[in-house]
Each structure stands twice: as C-alpha cells, then as structure tokens.
C-alpha cells in the first residue's frame, strides 16, 4: 500500500488507477497490503467497472475477498459520496435543448441505482438548468411524486420549464401507466402557472425514453 499512498501524496488522487482508489478506500492503514488484493478481487467481481462495483449489494460485497463489514461500509460510502458529488455539480454551462442533454446530465446520477428515483430539472427560458432536485425516492418498480412540490419549487426558482427524469432499474425504458399519468398531471399543473413541462425522460441501462420525442408532451 505504501507505494499507492506515496503516489497519492505526491501526485494527488486523480493520478490513481481505479484499482488503487478502491485499495485506499479499503485500507485500514498505510501498510495494509491486503487491501490491494481485495481491490483486485472486488473489481474483478464487478467486471472492472466502478459503476457495477457501486451496484453490488452489501451482503454480497462484505463476503467478497473476505473484506468484512466495515471495509464494505467504507467502500459503499465512498461510492455514494462520489454519486452525491456528481449530483451537486450543476455547471453554469448545463443547458437542456434535447433529451440527449437530459441523459448526459442525469445518467451519471441515476444509471447505477437499484431503486427508482425521480428528479426535476428546473430551466430558464433559455434552457439553462437553474437547479436539479430529487423529488421522490421509491422501490424497485415505482416511486411516488408530489405534484404540488414540483410546481412550488418551480415558482420559487422563477423557472419557466420543467423536465422530469426518473430511472427504471429493470433496464427497460418503456413508460408505465403510472409514468404516463404523472406526466399528464405535472403538465396540466404547470400550464396553470404559465410554465411548461418540456419533457419526461426515463433512464435505463444504456437506453432512455423521451415523452417529448414520442409526442406525449407538447
């Protein structure tokens, strides 16, 4: 481990390979060489993908490479910390002009989740993202959204356009009847306040569905 920590100290965390970052998260101290072999094994278990690593559930993770409870906790916490940093970073250059922009902004946030989350992007008339907010968190197959809360936050931000975004952990981006009903409710509520539901985008593994592209919102 010492060569990894020396590298971290001299060149910064960005210089570390994925395997080295995982080893640091797992290490009990600077001389914990067992962390390196654990990192190799857990990344192999995840097919070399950090995204898939973050998707491994705790019971299975703590049994991988014999890492145990606290190391598994630290690794999952590190993965979640990275996800939340991505959530918090709304660049002043983020502009939504199409569903592809929505996917670019939100796929890193939603792509690896094993449960549904629904988010709202609040936009200026130019399409600039004023804020993105998680409005609901649910189970594997559904999440419940408070339509009033969505509109209230839009009014607070003086937003004129709203984009709903949620994920389907099942891997299929096709909308459910509940998704369609939610879209209709929010679109109608937005109209009452001279706002517009620009789109509702469903993100799944390597695919997405745009209500606007399918002429389900106008």
**Domain co-membership, 82 together with 100:** no
How many residues are present in the chain? 218
**Which tokens in the block code for residue 122?**
């609040």
Choosing from 65, 87, 109, the residue where a domain stops is 87
**Domain co-membership, 14 together with 70:** yes
**Domain co-membership, 154 together with 204:** yes
List the Cα angle 83/205/180 in 5-degree steps. Answer: 100
pLDDT higher than threshold 70 for residue 87: no
Q: Is 29 part of a structural domain of the chain?
A: yes
**Domain co-membership, 198 together with 113:** yes
The answer to whether 187 and 177 are in contact (CB under 8 A) is: no
Question: Residue 196 belongs to what domain range?
Answer: 92-210
**Which tokens in the block code for residue 152?**
């209230």
Choosing from 87, 118, 134, the residue where a domain stops is 87
Separation CA 137–CA 164 (nearest Å) = 13
pLDDT higher than threshold 80 for residue 66: yes
The answer to whether 172 and 178 are in contact (CB under 8 A) is: no
* End-to-end CA gap in the chain: 56
Its pTM stands at: 0.68
Model pLDDT for residues 14-28, shown as the tens digit of each residue: 888 999 999 999 998
Number of domains in the chain: 2
**Domain co-membership, 77 together with 96:** no
Average pLDDT (65-92) is 82
pLDDT higher than threshold 80 for residue 144: no
Model pLDDT for residues 115-132, shown as the tens digit of each residue: 899 999 999 999 999 999
């Amino acid at each position: 481990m010492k060569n990894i920590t020396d590298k971290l100290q001299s060149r910064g965390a960005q210089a570390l390979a994925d395997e080295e970052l995982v080893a640091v998260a797992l290490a009990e101290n600077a001389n914990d060489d067992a962390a390196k072999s654990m990192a190799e094994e857990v990344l192999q278990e995840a097919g070399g993908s950090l995204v898939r690593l973050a998707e491994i559930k705790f019971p299975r993770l703590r049994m991988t490479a014999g890492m145990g409870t606290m190391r598994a906790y630290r690794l999952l916490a590190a993965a979640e910390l990275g996800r939340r940093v991505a959530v918090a970073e709304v660049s002043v250059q983020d502009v939504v002009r199409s569903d592809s922009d929505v996917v670019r902004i939100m796929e890193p946030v939603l792509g690896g989740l094993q449960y549904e989350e629904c988010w709202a992007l609040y936009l200026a008339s130019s399409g600039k993202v004023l804020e993105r907010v998680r409005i609901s968190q649910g189970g594997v197959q559904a999440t419940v959204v408070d339509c009033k809360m969505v509109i209230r936050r839009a009014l607070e931000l003086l937003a004129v356009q709203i984009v709903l975004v949620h994920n389907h952990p099942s891997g299929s981006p096709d909308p459910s009847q509940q998704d369609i009903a939610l879209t209709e409710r929010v679109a109608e509520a937005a109209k009452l306040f001279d706002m517009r539901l620009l789109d509702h985008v469903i993100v799944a593994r390597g695919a997405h569905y745009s209500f606007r592209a399918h002429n389900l919102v106008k």
